[in-house]
Structure 1
Amino acid sequence: MSSLLQAKNVTKSFGGGIFSKEEELIAVNDISLNLEVENPKIIAVAGESGSGKTTLARLLLGLINPNKGSVEYLGKNLKDMKGKEKRDFRREVQPIFQDPYGSYNPFYKVDHVLYSPIKNFKLASKGEEARKMVEKALELVGLVPSETLGRLPHQLSGGQRQRVMVARALLLQPRIILADEPVSAVDASLRATILDSVKKLNKDLGISVIYVTHDLTTAYQISDEIMILYKGVLKEAGPVEVVIKNPKHPYTQLLIDSIPQANPKLKWGKLDISETQELLDQPGLGWRDS
């Protein structure tokens, strides 16, 4: 199968230059990831804060370049893209970030963030056509256009603002959505609604999704495959059912044991990182099918 978006053994480090007093920090160390054209899927990239998952997301979006390895879209290295190729990539690979409020101008109605990409990418020739596109995108994420348009950002709930950003991404007819902690700033009661919207985009529209998260529960709920990162290293990867239900690496087990359980008699979070550092630093297991 042909690759849609592929990271090939990417490494990204910060600091540690000849004139730098800072010690080199390897944020992403020899990571590979592949989304196929013919097989749209949801891949979760999971790990705690500092694991390198957001740096990997920035590499995949072409916001930063790797020190080693490459990121390719339809076989073309991102750092070599220019003109139309780069513009097409920006349209077809859409990010959804953690804090939706930061994407809004508080003095503009939410309509502004929806109509701007239509204008910038010349997706509609008439105002009526643009309006229909906006209304359809809002309906796809479970929002009622008449109750959403014309509002200021603060007049919408956090969940509504985030779903507007998903609708904005949809307007560009993307092939990939990269969602970086899209529900961490949203009330728990609204997370399922947003995640259901993302999953529906994959199943109904064939959009591939890279879901960056620290939350294994939501990763398990919506993902087909999962990658577990720790200190920039891939510790374990494979089908989500295999990795979560039968973890092999101590770090994956630590994350699972740290999930609170409904039964107060059950002990959770029983692994102490300080006492198990040697186990956590064991080499990654790579891809697992069983």
Structure 2
Amino acid sequence: MSSPLTTTAASSLITTTGVTSVATATTVSVTTSTITTSSTTSSSTTSSSTTSSSTTSSSTTSSSTTSSSTTSSSTTSSSTTTSTSISGTSNNQLDTPYGITHDWSANIFYITDQNNHRVMKYLSNSTSGTVVAGNNGQGMGTTQLNYPLGVYFDSSSNSLLIVNYGAHNVVRWVLGASSWTLVVGNTGVSGSTSTLLFTPFDVTCDSMNNVYVADSGNHRLQFFFAGQSNGTTVAGITGTMGSTSTLLNQPTSIVVDAQFNIYVVDYANSRIQEFLHY
């Protein structure tokens, strides 16, 4: 399987929709309103834990350019962490990075290095990272990753939840361990049942450690109670792409707030969807 990313940033149209009950996994009434922002907002700025490869690479390029129109605010106020515009396998290089998550207590960043099939750890302001997961070639084994995309740092278990795009699963890699354990999905098997995923992109958790997965190929969001592998669709309709308020088209990033509201990058529809929790 080749790299999944040929993305462009989402438009500034933010569509607010509801409403799916996460706690009961049943759909209730739906209301829709549209909010247009005054400036362009990319999908990567909405998600606190995931950055698309296209926006990551453009931010890196911006740090080395003198054009004010293409330099983002983040690059003007911070230094470049990795080697600019040069992909590679060294500890100060990345190759098509996608996801990023932050350990706030230790001020450590974890980045999925997609085409190197590994996750890198970077201390704040460091220019060289450390491999914490994968880096054993592309594969399905428990010591390998297969195009890792979304990543979520779970402070309660000092572990990373990693989306294995090419393996159609989500795995947990305890920091310091040499292998992963399966969280959801069936390694190497794609599908649309409640226990399977199809080219997932992102993962996050709520305050009760329930797991949410952007199951992109199935055009849905899957909800898994903590410790369970049988999911429930809480947004979208399995296998049905669309642009109405109840449908998704290739969701790629997901965030859950303290009230259990879900925010989704609805990539192919060029919008951000909000599904309210009741």
**TM-score normalised according to structure 2 size:** 0.30
Larger radius of gyration: 1
Q: Which has the higher contact order (CA 8 A, sep 6+)?
A: 1
When you count helix as a share of all residues, which structure comes out higher? 1
